[in-house]
């Protein structure tokens, strides 16, 4: 007995290994992070769906433009292509821009509108000038391939922000001119 009293370590029990850390249920921070992640995914999918739906008219216009080119390759009628292209571009513009701004545009004003809404000068310079009065000339001959590329580019790039940027630029220019006069 004396020997046991003199060795206090002999009275200790073996080391207890802690239990496994459970993965479930997660800590509250993980729940919050999962909820935020789910909200971000839902918001992203909602934005993508709205973007896809808002650009449906562009996809349809691109399909119709491809069909116009295919029809032109069969018919070789530049006049018919120009008329159909004018109608297609006008319908696409009416989908995106206010009717009051677009419906009455013809000739040079129409071509300038197409340039302003795409932020380019593709319609007022080159083959696309045929859109000004080409449908009224019976003996018109145009490079349909380049006209097709310009129209394709407009369908992809047109946006109201181009008009807003130009309006802001013109307002700034008018403000600068009025400041110089005084």
On whether residue 6 sits in a domain, the answer given is no
d(CA 3, CA 117): 100
On whether residue 1 sits in a domain, the answer given is no
Q: What is the mean pLDDT of each run of 10 residues along the chain (182 residues)?
A: 66 83 87 97 97 94 96 89 93 92 90 89 81 76 88 91 72 71 48
On whether residue 69 sits in a domain, the answer given is yes
d(CA 67, CA 150): 16
pLDDT digits (tens, 9 = 90+) for 10-59: 778 888 888 888 888 888 999 999 999 999 999 999 999 999 999 999 99
- Residues 144, 111 contacting (CB under 8 angstroms): no
On whether residue 156 sits in a domain, the answer given is yes
On whether residue 102 sits in a domain, the answer given is yes
Q: Which domain holds residue 151?
A: 56-174
Q: How many contiguous H segments (helices) and E segments (strands) does the chain have?
A: 9, 0
On whether residue 95 sits in a domain, the answer given is yes
Count of domains forming the chain: 1
What pLDDT does 26 receive? 87
On whether residue 5 sits in a domain, the answer given is no
On whether residue 181 sits in a domain, the answer given is no
């Amino acid at each position: 007995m004396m020997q046991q009293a003199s060795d206090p370590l002999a009275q200790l029990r073996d080391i207890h290994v802690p239990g496994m850390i459970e993965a479930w249920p997660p800590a509250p921070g993980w729940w919050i992070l999962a909820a935020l992640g789910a909200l971000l995914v839902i918001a992203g999918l909602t934005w993508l769906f709205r973007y896809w739906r808002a650009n449906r008219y562009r996809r349809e216009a691109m399909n119709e433009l491809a069909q116009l080119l295919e029809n032109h390759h069969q018919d070789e009628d530049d006049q018919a292509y120009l008329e159909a292209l004018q109608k297609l571009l006008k319908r696409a513009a009416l989908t995106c821009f206010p009717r009051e701004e677009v419906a009455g545009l013809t000739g040079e004003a129409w071509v300038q509108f197409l340039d302003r809404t795409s932020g380019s000068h593709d319609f007022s310079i080159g083959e696309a000038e045929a859109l000004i009065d080409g449908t009224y000339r019976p003996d018109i001959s145009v490079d349909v391939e380049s006209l097709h590329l310009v129209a394709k580019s407009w369908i992809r790039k047109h946006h109201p922000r181009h008009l807003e940027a130009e309006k802001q630029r013109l307002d700034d220019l008018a403000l600068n001119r009025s400041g110089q006069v005084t």
